């Protein structure tokens, strides 16, 4: 049986904040698997061990509470790593998740209202699908936007202008909604809307303009703006910018 460690993005740990860490393990069909008792998590910042085999609360979503004191006073870091040890389906397993220690986490800036204001018919789609909201589309769109920015060398939590990602988030969420509808009802109007919003998303993603916390100071020291159309290559030394060829 294939075992899946399910997560969407790197973990963001805010400095000096208590964080609830989670581990979700499923089979390849998505059925949750609960680890046996005795699961632990060890947490590193580079080669420094922050937590040594901390006791995990096992469940369909296993959890560990990372105390605020563990990261209080630390500097931002891109070398955060969780290593979870658990017995799943009678087999010892090790799961790891990468992450960052940050001054401030990234939070999305849209709700269902931002989508239904553009297309009031979305309320009908929600009711027809038996959903409570458009959250699953917004959440997946948020993941897509963050991965796209990371792929361009931009860490979303370092954007001072978080609103710069708003339109890209809206357009991707609408693309996902209409793509889903088109898959059920056939291309037609919903297929055209799905394509339109994908095109708008891609254009917006390449033309974002924002102030960026390059030195991770947490304050706006430089008011010059950057464009998402220029790729940033992050190495062990200074950052290098250049357009992808």
Q: Where are the chain's structural domains?
A: 3-102, 112-242
Mean pLDDT of 1-25: 97
Q: Which segments within 46-116 are labelled E, that is strand?
A: 48-55, 61-66, 77-88, 91-102
Q: What is the pLDDT of residues 70-125, one digit of tens each?
A: 999 999 999 999 999 999 999 999 999 999 999 999 999 999 999 999 999 999 99
* Residue 10 in this model has a pLDDT that exceeds 60: yes
Q: What is the mean pLDDT of the chain?
A: 92
Q: What is the pLDDT of residue 88?
A: 96
Measure the CA–CA gap between 168 and 148, rounded to whole angstroms: 10
Q: How many CB atoms lie within 10 A of CB 49?
A: 12
Measure the CA–CA gap between 227 and 159, rounded to whole angstroms: 11
Q: What is the pLDDT of residue 232?
A: 52
Q: Phi then psi for 7, rounded to 5 degrees?
A: -160, 160
The pair of structure tokens assigned to 159 is 């954007």
Residue whose C-alpha is closest to residue 12's, from 108, 90, 87: 108
Q: Are 25 and 4 in contact (CB under 8 A)?
A: yes
**Helix (H), strand (E) at residue 209:** strand 209-210
Measure the CA–CA gap between 191 and 188, rounded to whole angstroms: 5
Q: How many CB atoms lie within 10 A of CB 138?
A: 22
Helices (H), the chain: 68-71, 112-116, 122-129, 135-151, 166-185, 188-205
Q: Find where tokens 């799961």 sit.
A: 95
Q: Which CATH class is domain 3-102?
A: mainly beta
Q: What is the pLDDT of residues 138-183, one digit of tens each?
A: 999 999 999 999 999 999 999 999 999 999 999 999 999 999 999 9
- For the chain, the straight-line distance linking the first and the last C-alpha, in angstroms and rounded, comes to 42
Q: What is the pLDDT of residue 139?
A: 98
Mean pLDDT of 32-59: 98
Q: What is the pLDDT of residues 174-200, one digit of tens each?
A: 999 999 999 987 778 999 999 999 999
**Percentage, residues of the chain above pLDDT 70:** 92
Q: What is the pLDDT of residues 212-242, one digit of tens each?
A: 999 999 999 877 777 776 565 444 433 433 3
Q: 22: Cβ–Cβ under 8 A, 6 or more apart, which residues?
A: 61, 62, 63
Q: What is the pLDDT of residue 230?
A: 58
Q: What is the pLDDT of residue 234?
A: 47
Q: Note the pTM of the prediction, 2 decimals.
A: 0.88
Measure the CA–CA gap between 164 and 148, rounded to whole angstroms: 14
């Amino acid at each position: 049986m294939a075992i899946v460690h399910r997560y969407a993005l790197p973990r963001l740990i805010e400095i000096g904040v208590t964080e609830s860490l989670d581990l979700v393990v499923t089979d390849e069909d998505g059925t949750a698997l609960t680890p046996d008792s005795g699961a632990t998590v060890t947490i590193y910042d580079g080669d420094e061990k922050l937590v040594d085999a901390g006791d995990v609360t096992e469940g369909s979503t296993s959890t560990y509470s990372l105390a605020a004191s563990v990261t209080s006073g630390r500097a931002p870091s891109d070398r955060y790593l969780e290593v979870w040890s658990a017995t799943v389906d009678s087999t010892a397993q090790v799961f790891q998740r990468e992450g960052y220690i940050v001054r401030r986490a990234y939070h999305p800036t849209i709700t269902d209202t931002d989508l239904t204001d553009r297309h009031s018919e979305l309320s009908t789609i929600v009711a027809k699908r038996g959903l409570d909201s458009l959250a699953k589309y917004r959440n997946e769109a948020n993941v897509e936007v963050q991965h796209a920015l990371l792929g361009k060398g931009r860490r979303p939590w370092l954007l001072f202008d978080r609103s710069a990602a708003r339109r890209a988030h809206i357009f991707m969420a609408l693309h996902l909604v209409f793509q889903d509808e088109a898959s059920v009802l056939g291309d037609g109007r919903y297929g055209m809307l799905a394509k339109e919003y994908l095109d708008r998303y891609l254009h917006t993603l390449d033309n974002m303009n924002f102030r960026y916390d390059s030195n991770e100071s947490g304050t706006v020291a430089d008011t010059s703006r950057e464009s998402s159309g220029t790729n940033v290559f992050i190495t062990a030394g200074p950052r290098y910018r250049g357009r992808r060829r």
